[in-house]
Amino acid sequence: MTRCVRLWTGEDRNSHFEEGVIHLEPGARGDLLSGKMAATTISFQETASGGAFAWHTAPVRQLVITLSGTLDFQTRHGEHFLIRPGDILLAEDTVGGGHSWRLTDAGYQIHGVPDAVIRHDLGTRRRQLRRSYVYGKARMRLYRKHPGRLRHVLRRDPMVVAYPAYLLGVPLAMALPARAAFRFGWPAGVAFPLYLGLLILPAWRNRSEGAVRVLTDHLAYGAGALAELVRP
């Protein structure tokens, strides 16, 4: 089955939508096929990243097939639906208030070149730390722009959570009073060294790359992500 969203004009002269599927029947060679439909014209269109189309109606009754990218459609009632690669849009709202859309993901494909040789000039240590800080800010900015991806962040991008959380905990570990340390059975003043000990595992895992260098890069990355997170 193929997901299909139908847009049409209601009695209130506004666009409405409903989701359905295009049922496919078994065909030759084990393929799945739909019934045949006549088409008057066919055209191809490419939209640049960040593109949008303000309120408009469909020029004709048409089927729109998205090959790449994700489009966020909106009706005059403030209702939204997404069209992703492989989805079909049946646009029948040729009159009325129309709809709008914006491209949220351009859907570019990344290709690898196995024989390519890339050399990085990281510059001075200060430049590299600054670069890591900027990378962290940029990464968090992407999550602020696409909050729907946060549901996968712990599995796919744990660094953007772990290091900002660690930096947030540093003042707490330093300020842990002696009474609280005694309550946990720790000697006074031992909380902060124990907290620093949490870095032993990532230091061990990156020992071949230079543990101190990698950890400082990651902490700078976390500082950048944290700075972006608290930005108004």
pTM recorded for the entire structure:
0.49
Q: Look at residue 228 in the predicted model and tell me its pLDDT.
A: 93
C-alpha pair distances (Å), 195 with each of 168, 200, 217: 12, 10, 18
Q: Which runs of E-coded beta strand occur in the chain?
A: 2-9, 15-22, 25-26, 32-33, 52-56, 62-65, 70-75, 80-83, 88-91, 99-105
Q: What is the pLDDT of residue 121?
A: 76
Looking at the structure, give the CATH architecture of the domain made up of residues 2-105. Sandwich (2.60)
The pLDDT of residue 17: 96
The whole-number mean pLDDT for each consecutive block of 10 residues of the chain, a chain of 232 residues, reads 93 95 87 88 88 94 92 94 94 95 77 81 86 94 89 89 90 65 54 77 86 91 93 84
Q: Over the Cα atoms of the chain, what is R_g?
A: 26
What local confidence, expressed as pLDDT, does residue 36 receive? 86
Say what the pLDDT of residue 13 is. Answer: 94
Q: Please list the residue range(s) of the chain that carry CATH number 2.60.120.
A: 2-105
What is the per-residue burial (b if ≥16 Cβ within 10 Å, else e) of 6-39? ebbbeeeebbbbeeeeeeeeeeeeeeeeeeeeee
Q: Which two tokens stand for residue 183?
A: 């309550």
What is the pLDDT, as a whole number, of residue 148?
Answer: 86
- Helix pair angle (159-175, 211-229), 10° resolution: 90
| Cα 152 to Cα 106, 147, 168, 218, 224, distances in angstroms | 20, 10, 22, 20, 20
